[in-house]
């Protein structure tokens, strides 16, 4: 059968162009799924915030002459999937937040919205050091800011807590355990009956303990003075006498000397947190993760029903809720 080479080339070109166009359209649709609308101001009390404050994943919100920086994490996100940084404060996120703080003029007030179980000690110290000496800083805690989140909150001049919100203890967690447990183990169990690696961890824990309380006191804003002095408050929170998951509500926070502002968090603060969590949810749904975080088991070689064997290694030194 005769075929014109020009027609054949034209046909193949048309097929290639159709494939490219279909791919581009698919990418545009996928991008729109994650596209965040332009900020729409929403008034709430004396605070105005955009409903969608994130551009390219970095909090860049300005309203009412104030800078709003959000530290929001997904408590329900499964361990080991995609990235665990969504679950807690990481050093990478801390550097992004530091860049935001550095870009704010010294006379511009900063509002920090916190919804986090905590995170890496180094990360929260970076943020707290950048905030504690700045004038006119406020932390908003609509639900909870535990562990490293409490450290950041205490580095601001005042904290606005939601009606049912909570803070938490700031005792250091070391390889998944309270740091005091390592020194107690070395003290109560014959060292010859302890593995060498555990003994070495105990020695590291002793060094960390020597500076942990001092660092906690240094990061405390002078407006949180406790009953007698600033270090009494930080010592109490860092002592390890409470479970690391202990919830310190508004009333208790005031009793121990934390500067809690009068009034409830503005509605815009709740919208800010819930909006970020909806973005997380849409990302999971696009990745095929259901409400119970179940994914289709991958087809592993030699095992058609192979299970996903993702693992999660907790960072070593943490100020975080386990």
Candidate from 12-21, 205-214, 224-233 with smallest mean pLDDT: 224-233
| Nearest by Cα to 227 from 259, 249, 250 | 259
Query: What is the distance, to the nearest Å, from the Cα of residue 144 to the centroid of all Cα atoms in its chain?
Result: 11
Q: For residue 34, give both structure tokens.
A: 């994650």
Query: Tens of pLDDT along 191-223?
Result: 888 889 888 888 888 888 778 778 888 888 888
Q: How far apart are CA 63 and CA 53, in angstroms?
A: 10
Distance CA 152, CA 118 (A): 9
pLDDT band at 80 (very low <50, low <70, confident <90, very high): low
How is domain 40-287+315-320 classified at the architecture level of CATH?
Answer: Alpha-Beta Complex (3.90)
Name residue, tokens 């060292």.
191
pLDDT at 56: 34
Q: Say how far apart CA 234 and CA 11 lie, in whole Å.
A: 74
As a whole number of angstroms, the distance between CA 169 and CA 172 comes to 9
Q: How many CB atoms lie within 10 A of CB 311?
A: 6
Domain range summary for the chain, segments of one domain joined by +: 40-287+315-320
Under 8 Å between Cβ of 49 and 142: no
pTM of the predicted model over 0.75: no
Alpha helices in the chain (DSSP H): 5-34, 91-102, 121-132, 148-154, 179-188, 196-218, 230-238, 250-255, 267-286
Write down the pLDDT at residue 46.
39
C-alpha–C-alpha distance, residues 253 and 227, integer Å: 12
CB atoms within 10 A of CB 252: 14
């Amino acid at each position: 059968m005769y075929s014109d080479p020009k027609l054949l080339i034209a046909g193949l070109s048309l097929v290639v162009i159709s494939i490219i166009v279909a791919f581009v359209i698919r990418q545009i649709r996928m991008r729109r799924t994650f596209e965040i609308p332009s900020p729409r101001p929403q008034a709430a009390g004396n605070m105005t915030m955009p409903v969608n404050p994130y551009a390219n994943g970095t909090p860049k919100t300005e309203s009412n002459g104030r800078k709003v920086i959000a530290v929001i994490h997904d408590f329900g996100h499964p361990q080991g999937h995609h990235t665990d940084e969504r679950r807690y404060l990481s050093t990478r996120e801390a550097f992004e937040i530091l860049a935001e703080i550095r870009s704010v003029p010294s006379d511009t007030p900063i509002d920090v919205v916190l919804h986090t179980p905590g995170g890496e000690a180094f990360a929260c110290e970076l943020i707290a050091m950048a905030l504690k000496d700045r004038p006119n800083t406020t932390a908003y805690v609509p639900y909870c800011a535990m562990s490293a989140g409490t450290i950041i909150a205490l580095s601001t001049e005042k904290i606005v807590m939601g009606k049912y919100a909570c803070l938490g203890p700031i005792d250091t967690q070391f390889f998944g355990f309270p740091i005091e447990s390592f020194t107690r183990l070395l003290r109560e169990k014959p060292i010859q009956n302890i593995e060498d690696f555990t003994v070495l961890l105990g020695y590291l824990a002793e060094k960390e303990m020597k500076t942990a309380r001092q660092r906690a006191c240094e990061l405390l804003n002078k407006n949180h003075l406790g009953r007698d002095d600033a270090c009494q408050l930080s010592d109490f929170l860092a002592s390890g006498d409470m479970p690391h998951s202990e919830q310190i509500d508004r009333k208790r926070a005031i009793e121990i000397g934390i500067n809690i502002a009068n009034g409830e968090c503005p509605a815009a603060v709740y919208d800010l947190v819930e909006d970020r969590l909806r973005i997380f949810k849409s990302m999971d749904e696009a990745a095929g993760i259901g409400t119970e975080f179940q994914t289709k088991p991958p087809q592993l070689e030699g095992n058609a029903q192979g299970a996903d064997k993702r693992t999660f290694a907790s960072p070593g030194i943490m100020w975080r809720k386990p």
